Amino acid sequence: MNFNSVEFSAFFVCVLVLYTVVFYRERWRDVLLLAASYFFYMSWNWKYAGLLAFSTIVDYSVGLVLAREQRPRARTYILIISLTSNLGLLALFKYYNFFIELSGPAIAMFGWDLSLLRHELLLPVGISFYTFQTMSYTIDVYRGERVLERNFLKFAVFVAFFPQLIAGPIVRAKQFLPQLHHLPNVTTQRFHDGLFLVFKGLSKKILIADLLATLAVDNVFTHPLTFSSWDLLIGLYAYTFQIYYDFSGYSDIAIGLAKMLGYDLPQNFNRPYLSQNVREFWTRWHISLSTWLRDYLYISLGGSRAAPWRVKMNLMITMFLGGLWHGAALHFICWGVYHGLLLILARQGPKTEAVRTAAQKVLLQIGCFHLIAFGWLLFRVQDLDNFLDFIRGWSHLTGGTRLSGVFYIILSLGILFHVFPAQRLERFAQWWIMRPVPIQAATYGTLLLIYAGMTLEAPSFIYFQF
């Protein structure tokens, strides 16, 4: 079930109805959330629900053992059990075939054929997210953070909570588990806020991201040599906004659904293309992942408190692994290395606070945007030939366009919505939430009908593949 599907709408309405029945019964409320979460996950592939349960059981048990064990070396070995289990799942389902393919040519020199070792297992949806989430829990317990959860049911809900299960935000135990021990904070205002966020996210996904993909991005990236240099540039701009609206749209929906149920999830995006340098970009883009990489990988490697050469290495290792996290492909690794280089260079540049004038700020934002956009080219292309086709197409410096006027309108609206002052958007949201309920209901109902028609053959969310 995609969030942008009729099936999910029916599913969530059923969950809400049952939720009102069990709302004041803590145990039954948790049981309902867990059952709904597993039903939602099994709608993708019921066989892989066992992997989700496996991560839950292993890391719950590791947390309990860590809480009792005081010997440093033993605690380290216990933590390794958690890390090995979760990273082992990722290695098997996500990276195994990739490394078989990479090592194949070298091994073939000895007469061995590794292709026979490939498996045909599907990548379990959401595995990159829930494994990182459970690992953060065991690492926090190991570090002495007060996050230990002795109630297995609540821990299972924390891991499988369906609004953010498939594509985040990656929630920390200290952010979510305490909420499960109190009556959910459901109010009329919060319910309306959540509903507004859901439709905001659906609008981002369906009206901007999907239309950009359908009208231009997919064709431009599939057949770059048939388009002019101008179209290739605009197509890259379009993908830059497509991936933002697709992923931030999912996050808005997830945060909105959770808020309607009485829970708070962390912010995941903060208008990233207004960043003045790449360091700022990574405080605004996929915030839950970037902070995870910072807190559990970069700082563990030594962070910024090491010699200059070591800091650069720490940055590069972190971004290399961040690229690999996105997928088992060389273009994801290149994207991660590219951002590692940008972050190393950004440390040598001027601080954002040194910018004085509005003109300087805009110039830095435009420059940073183009650096990020080029990175998305590395992220989106499928192989070296596809990348070189883009470079050749740009080198011809041809004008003209094959892209439709409707596409340019959608792209322009996407850009304007991104740069529009956040305070005014917030004021509009508050104004809308104060409208009479019948007007809101009629509007939301109409939008649902429109979106249902537009999503019959719409692509799923981009980050579902990661």
Q: How far is the CA of 129 from the CAs of 17, 45, 68, 142, 423, in angstroms?
A: 28, 16, 28, 20, 31
Indicate the SS3 state at residue 177. helix
Q: What is the DSSP code string of 77-93?
A: HHHHHHHHHHHHHHIII
Residue 339, C-beta contacts closer than 8 angstroms, at least 6 positions apart: 278, 282, 319, 322, 323, 375
Query: Measured between alpha carbons, how far is 172 from 150 in angstroms, rounded to an integer?
Result: 16
Q: What is the DSSP string of 434-456?
A: TS-HHHHHHHHHHHHHHHHHHTT
Nearest to 229 by CA among 33, 451, 402: 402
Rg (CA), the chain: 23
Pairwise CA distance, residues 125 & 464, whole Å: 6
Give the type of residue at 458: A
Q: Which of 286, 277, 280, 281 is nearest to 243 (CA)?
A: 286
Question: Three-class SS of residue 383?
Answer: coil
What is d(CA 291, CA 170) in angstroms, rounded to the nearest whole number?
10
Catalytic residue among 286, 326, 331, 339: 326
The answer to whether residues 240 and 414 touch, using CB atoms and an 8 Å cutoff, is no
370 is catalytic: no
Residue-wise DSSP of 185-197: ---HHHHHHHHHH
Structure tokens at 349: 């540049």
- The number of residues making up the chain comes to 466
Phi, psi of 280 (to 5 degrees): -65, -40
Separation of alpha carbons 14 and 16, rounded Å? 5
Provide the residue type at 50 as one letter. Answer: G
Helix 188-203 / helix 422-433 crossing angle, nearest 10 deg: 120
Pick the closest to residue 50 from 127, 141, 137, 161 (CA basis).
127
- Packing angle, helices 173-180 and 127-142, rounded to 10: 90
- Residues annotated as part of the active site: 326
